[in-house]
């Protein structure tokens, strides 16, 4: 059974870059799409974007100018970078797996809270 | 973007009674080439990630109790819990995967009356 685990700083200063990594265990990262999804405290879910194991990406246009998602198949992990963060980027960040480019999310990490504050 | 709108925002149902949550998409999520609705449902309990319940609008994920069912087509969908159990208290989300960006409804909070 696949297990996803997010890691990274829990506090980022305004205007800096948020960086998170999702480690995938129990299954290969190959053959799947890997997403980042965020949830501001007490609010709903926002899809940030995904990366295919080959490295191709699709981003949410609302964040596209600030987002980079990459994959490292040798380490079975993928990463998120979000630049120029503001308080509005404070959220729980989840990594998740999909089987297709247009698909549901069948496995999720536990999520990690990232706060943006000076 | 396809906007997903759920109703109601919150719902209180007695144990053993039926709970119904609605989800409406701003455009059809039915792919006529394969006759599939690109719509999923998730359950999120406090402090936990969302859990997939339903995909293709009506296919139950493995291990999901059969009291959960999904229905609908095109732009209007429903998640039904036939007999509410205490462990079903959660926030429920619909999600469309017809086109990117993938989008979710705002959530429906389900409580015990």
Q: What is the pLDDT of residues B30-88, one digit of tens each?
A: 999 999 999 999 999 999 999 999 999 999 999 999 999 999 999 999 999 999 999 99
- Determine if the peptide bond prior to B101 is cis (ω within 30°): yes
What are φ and ψ of residue A100, in 5° steps?
-135, 165
Nearest to B50 by CA among B95, B13, B81, B5: B95
Q: B52, A106: Cβ pair inside 8 Å?
A: yes
Which residues in chain A are contacts of B105 at CB distance < 8 A? 44
Beta bridge partners of B4: B25
Kindly state the average pLDDT of the residues A14-35.
96
Nearest to B25 by CA among B56, B55, B4, B1: B4
Which residues in chain A are contacts of B98 at CB distance < 8 A? 102
Q: How distant, in Å, are the alpha carbons of A33, B20, B65 from that of A113?
A: 23, 31, 30
DSSP code for A101? S
Kindly state the average pLDDT of the residues A30-41.
97
Q: What is the pLDDT of residue B21?
A: 98
Contacts of residue B62, defined as CB under 8 A and 6 or more positions apart, other chains included, come to: none
Q: What is the pLDDT of residue A63?
A: 97
Which token pair is A89?
Answer: 């980027």
Q: B99, A102: Cβ pair inside 8 Å?
A: yes
Q: What is the pLDDT of residue B106?
A: 98
Q: What is the pLDDT of residue B28?
A: 98
Which residues in chain A are contacts of B38 at CB distance < 8 A? 102
State the residue for tokens 């685990």.
Answer: A5
Q: B95, A104: Cβ pair inside 8 Å?
A: yes
Cβ-count burial of A27 within 10 angstroms (0-12 exposed, 13-18 middle, 19+ buried)? middle
Give per-residue pLDDT as tens, A36-94: 999 999 999 999 999 999 999 999 999 999 999 999 999 999 999 999 999 999 999 99
CB pairs under 8 A between A and B: 52
Nearest to A38 by CA among A13, A67, A65: A67
Q: How far is A106 from chain B (nearest CA, A)?
A: 6
User: Which residue in chain A has the smallest CA separation from B57?
Assistant: A104
Per-residue confidence band for B98, with pLDDT thresholds at 50, 70 and 90 = very high
Q: What is the pLDDT of residue A42?
A: 95
Q: What is the pLDDT of residue B76?
A: 98
Which is it for the CA torsion A63, A100, A51, A4, positive or negative?
positive
């Amino acid at each position: 059974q696949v297990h996803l685990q997010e890691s990274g700083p829990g506090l980022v200063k305004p205007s800096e870059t948020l960086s998170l990594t999702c480690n995938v265990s129990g299954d290969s990262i190959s053959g799947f799409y890997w997403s980042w999804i965020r949830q501001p405290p007490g609010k709903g879910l926002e899809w940030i974007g995904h990366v295919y194991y080959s490295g191709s990406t699709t981003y949410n246009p609302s964040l596209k100018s600030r987002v980079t998602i990459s994959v490292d198949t040798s380490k079975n992990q993928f990463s998120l970078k979000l630049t120029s963060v503001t308080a509005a980027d404070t959220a729980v960040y989840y990594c998740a797996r999909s089987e297709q480019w247009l698909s549901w999310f069948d496995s999720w990490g536990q999520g990690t809270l990232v706060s943006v504050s000076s | 973007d396809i906007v997903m709108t759920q109703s109601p925002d919150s719902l209180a149902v007695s144990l053993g009674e039926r709970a119904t949550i609605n989800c409406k998409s701003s455009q059809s999520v039915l792919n006529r080439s394969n006759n599939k609705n690109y719509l999923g449902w998730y359950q999120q309990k406090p402090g936990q990630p969302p859990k997939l319940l339903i995909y293709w609008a009506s296919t139950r994920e493995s291990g999901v109790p059969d009291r959960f069912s999904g229905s609908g087509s095109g732009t209007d969908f429903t998640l039904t819990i036939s007999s509410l159990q205490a462990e079903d208290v959660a926030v429920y989300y619909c999600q469309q995967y017809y086109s990117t960006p993938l989008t979710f409804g705002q959530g429906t909070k389900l409580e015990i009356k």
